[in-house]
Chains A and B, each alone.
Chain A
């Protein structure tokens, strides 16, 4: 019993008490250790002209600073300014200023201002939304004098310089930002330097900064230089500007040459900017491109390739080391892809070493070494394959062949491994399939087409659709009418009677003109019968004069209408059954009255 309890206790102790505690996310931890950004205090604008006094045509900076996050400031597209002032936004930046336990955001917006006439000009106060609240930007005054003087203070500006102004798409160019020393040769450094320009890539890894004593703008003294590499991605005119905050602290490595006094104390963050600089970017020519172009622009040399061994067996791997060299830096070189061959399996290259920078008389040269892994699939080769490579030389304006040459080697004729044989067969099959060649001529002219223009684009085709449309519409209408008459046969009977009556009346007109009294009587009676027939369930021939008179009112029956009808029916009876002939002229004289009667009857048929 005691042993059982021991086991039970041991088991209970050995049971896991829950899931292991989760490791905190390092990124989240890092974020939590950062001091918070202050966004709670009241936003206040500080406005100034730098310098406050300028000469006509000289540039001043209208600088607006606010203690808020840049994204929260809804700055207007245009600001009201006196007509004599030209105002153009030149830079906008944000910096986080360390405060007690927090970071204070400071947003600065710079405008370049030039004046056309001397005077004192004020940009009045205006409202801007910050964090959704209206905040007043105070007014600022600029004094403009007619002539420049050495005593006038000058605005501190950045100066932008490009090493080349005509380059090709993808060709890196050096850009330098200068900040000359101020009064007493005291130099300031820059923080958060930005190179602004549409369609350019700024290589942040190539940034270098130094303080150097040199002549600049007719004055020798220390100067802060920020250097970066930019690569244009689109052709055309590209305008660059630079901006950065003055800060008397260093970010990143810096080289100091010569004597320089650096301002100490708490940092003063002032956003400075430069005038734009322009480069003309040409597209790479599409002609003359050679095999193996991977976007390399510049002047490159390829060292003779080195092999890890020059004696291998089929199926063994060997490495081919290729070193590319160029003047300057070689950061963005894509090595040429390996060619597809049947007797070699070649793997894409990997960086073996570099880039290695070397100081030369002409500056800096760099080299990078790639290694290609090769597997011989047969023993029929005496050298490694050539690997096509070419670069675009901007100085010559053309593509230059720099194919990686072959290297001699010996391949043992030993038995290839099954895997190597399979690879060789697959590569050969792929090459057979992939090898395209021009097909021969067609021998027969085939059925000819009227035009290359598709039917869908021809108006005649769409007009042709009217035919079936009209056909189907006609059929549908006909069917509708037919169904109507089936539902209302009396309409059809009346319609037919009207048609027959019109025929008889035309005949009546003819016989009256021919003075044929005998036919006049028979046609008249027939017309009367046809006009009355739809009102009786009988055929027209079965109707007699009384039937016709039934359709008229009592007064008409006893009046002239009745007389005319009776006379005509009597004349017809006499014509059929009596030897005595009626008075033809009298009967013909009844035509106007008969027409009136027939009009009345036709009206009843409608």
Chain B
């Protein structure tokens, strides 16, 4: 009986591992297919493959390549969005950063208006900040409690470690705040996107946004988002504004 359960578990494990391999293989396959299509100048097909790759398992490289393919397709906003997403996953991705600068210069677009917390948040991947914050916090808590519980010999080392842990935790707070606030950043997806006074289709246009022009969502109402750009504020249709990270 015991050997039977073990056999089932082993089969399940093998199936899972083979399934994981298959998924990874498919993902790699889409990625490589995308590269092949891109090199054959079939940018629309390449964009589809890279989109499939990022849907299965998002990675900075896949997003970056999707951005390149979209740029070559003439879809500036989608390209900017993809490169922004690549940078969210890997802030050190030089290619994505360079491509963003290139695209903005070429399309005469401004970079998003970031707060200092959001700039700091961009120094490390977003998840690292979260892990760093909780690790340092619980480390400080552990260093506070464990010497008493485990009856360590009295010394200043645990106290110094508590201070260190709390210090790191406090320093990560602005970055974590920046990670949360920058989730509301996005870009206009189409050229001549109307920014309206009111959240209605008949609302008067305050201005028109170019494709890829950045904005920050301040609030939502129905199918409209109230966004703030560098120059003005207004309502934009939800479908016409792409968020770098869905919230």
Contact = CB atoms under 8 A, between A and B. Distances in A.
Interface residues of A, number: 38
Contacts of A285: 192, 208
Interface in A433-457: 436-449, 451-457
B187 interface: no
B131 interface: yes
Contacts of A478: 149
A454 B118 CA distance: 13
B52 interface: no
Given A442-B61, A445-B27, A465 B183 contact: no
Interface stretch (B8-16, B93-101, B155-163): B93-101
Nearest to A282: B205
B59 to A, nearest CB: 4
B176 A456 contact: yes
A436 B98 contact: yes
B145 A445 contact: no
Given A445-B61, A454-B245, A465-B134, A475 B38 contact: no
B160 to A, nearest CB: 20
B98 A439 contact: yes
A287 interface: yes
A150 to B, nearest CB: 42
Contacts of B61: 442, 444-446
A237 interface: yes
B78 interface: no
Contacts of A237: 204
Given A438-B71, A438-B102, A445-B62, A455 B89 contact: no
B53 A445 contact: yes
Contacts of B152: none
Interface string A326-361: 000000000000000000000000000000000000
B207 A283 contact: yes
Contact of A445 (B28, B126, B127, B209): B28
A133 to B, nearest CB: 43
Nearest to A453: B245
Given A236-B197, A441-B38, A454-B126, A283 B192 contact: no
A265 to B, nearest CB: 50
Nearest to A465: B134
Contacts of A452: 58, 85, 88-89, 244-246
Contacts of B205: 235, 283
B57 interface: yes
B201 interface: no
Contacts of B60: 442, 446, 449
Given A456-B176, A479-B149, A283 B126 contact: no
A61 B37 CA distance: 76
B6 interface: no
Given A445-B28, A454-B179, A455-B126, A472 B134 contact: no
Interface of A: 234-237, 283, 285-287, 289, 436-449, 451-457, 461, 465, 468, 472, 475-476, 478-479
11 contacts: A439-B99, A441-B65, A443-B35, A445-B28, A452-B88, A453-B245, A453-B247, A454-B179, A457-B180, A457-B183, A472-B138
